[in-house]
Chain A
Amino acid sequence: MDVTITVNGVRYQRDIEPRMLLVHFLRDELGLTGTHWGCDTSNCGTCVVLIDGEPVKSCTTLAAMTSGHEVRTVEGLEREGELDPVQQGFMEEHGLQCGFCTPGMLLTARALLDRSPDPAPDEIREAISGQLCRCTGYATIVRSVRWAAEHGDGAGTAPVAAEQEVGS
């Protein structure tokens, strides 16, 4: 079937099998391997991407279901060479070690800050409670998101730039 999915502001048209999961569409069809794929059972959250601005587990979503919708992946956080404040925060506060959980954490953090620009640590913990990190113990992730809240200045919350041409 034909799908048209906007990923990080670029419209992609593809002919895919209806059973293709969004995580595989992103990784295998588009080569956007920043989105990680872990448990495959909707538990770990490393596959989280934003669909129309909301965090969703892409291992439990059909690519077909997102046709006509906007997807944002970790590749879409950086804007014109500038890291998103959440990316910067994870650097500053040691929010990652191996980095496996990081793409999902970053996108959930981005969505949280878009909705609630100054979240308390408990609110951050609640927001990432569907995601596992086996390295950092969460304390530094919470600090990283706080860093972004304090240094964000609204950066990174701007809507996705005008749509570009259909990607190849």
Chain B
Amino acid sequence: MQVPAPFDYERASSVDHALRLLDQHGEDARLIAGGHSLLPMMKLRLVRPNVVIDINDCVDLDYIIEDRDVLRIGALTRHATLLASDTVARLAPMITDAERVIADPVVRNRGTIGGSLCQADPGEDLTTVCDAMFADIVIRGRDGPRTIPMADFHRGPYETAVEPDEMLTEIRIPLRPGAGSAYEKVERRVGDWAIAAVGAVVWMDNGTIDDVGIGLTAVGLEGVATRAQDAVRGHAPDDDLYAQAGRLAASQSDPIDDQRGSAAYKRHLTAELTSRALRRAVERSQGR
């Protein structure tokens, strides 16, 4: 039987309350959102917080708002809510694609976007999505909010820029005209973590790819696939370009052999999924 080590439980009624509790309890306190990453780790005693601060009552962090040129998503928004959102499907279909294949419907009822990003598991899908879409991350501490680009948020596996006395409150996805996006993932079975996955967004202008973001999941690349991005930016899309982008993304990946597959297989997937994600993103930008 797996049971966490003992801890004290606190329930935060608001973001300010959560921040006060974090301040009061210091480095050994942990926030709990959906708990679907934290509790499994606590059950295996990989993490042993002294205090667990439940933020599920901070319902003002559960929102999806189209705010002119930004899609604002509250940290406590559940996977299930993101998957069901028409606003998200219209403005950022890459998120909808990813949510459809994150875990299973029951896990998605609890897991949150904030918890996913803060967990920063190398196999985590929404980190890739936020990387590729050049999201900004709003973090709140006792001195107020600060906003950092996704590129500065991620500090390596299981590490982020959120300090122990801070909290992630909002994800801001920039919205620009001519956008199309897609997420392609291959997993061993329904609900599993990715063997490999790729998220791509394009911003088209007059038939050429004006700008692009490509992120890779579970294949050993932090941040975006710059080589592939540089190769497609400024070009009119066609099959050769998609294939070239795939090769370059694979060349920048650094996967390892594990129970999910060999490094060679994952590199192959990276190339293929990059091509597919780009093609789908371009099609969507054209309303197809």
Q: Which residues of A contact B (CB under 8 A)?
A: 1, 17-21, 24, 40-43, 45, 48, 54-57, 60-62, 64-65, 108, 126-127, 129-131
Contact = CB atoms under 8 A, between A and B. Distances in A.
Given A18-B8, A57-B110, A60-B35, 8 more contacts: A19-B42, A21-B3, A60-B36, A60-B40, A62-B32, A64-B9, A126-B105, A127-B105
Nearest to B190: A129
B265 interface: no
16 contacts: A17-B6, A18-B7, A19-B6, A20-B3, A21-B39, A40-B2, A57-B107, A61-B110, A62-B35, A62-B54, A65-B54, A65-B56, A108-B106, A126-B105, A127-B105, A130-B191
B143 to A, nearest CB: 29
B27 interface: no
B32 to A, nearest CB: 7
Interface in B16-56: 32, 35-36, 39-40, 42-43, 52, 54, 56
B109 interface: yes
B5 interface: yes
Interface residues of B, number: 29
Summarize B's interface: helix, strand, loop or mixed. loop
Contacts of B3: 19-21, 24
A17 to B, nearest CB: 7
A132 B283 CA distance: 36
B163 interface: no
A157 to B, nearest CB: 19
Nearest to A21: B3
Contacts of B1: 40
Nearest to A64: B9
A130 B9 contact: no
B246 to A, nearest CB: 29
A18 B4 CA distance: 10
B35 A55 contact: no
Contacts of A126: 105
Contacts of A45: 104, 106
Contacts of B54: 62, 64-65
B58 interface: no
A61 B107 CA distance: 11
A146 to B, nearest CB: 18
Contacts of A57: 36, 106-107, 110
Given A40-B1, A129-B190, A1 B9 contact: yes
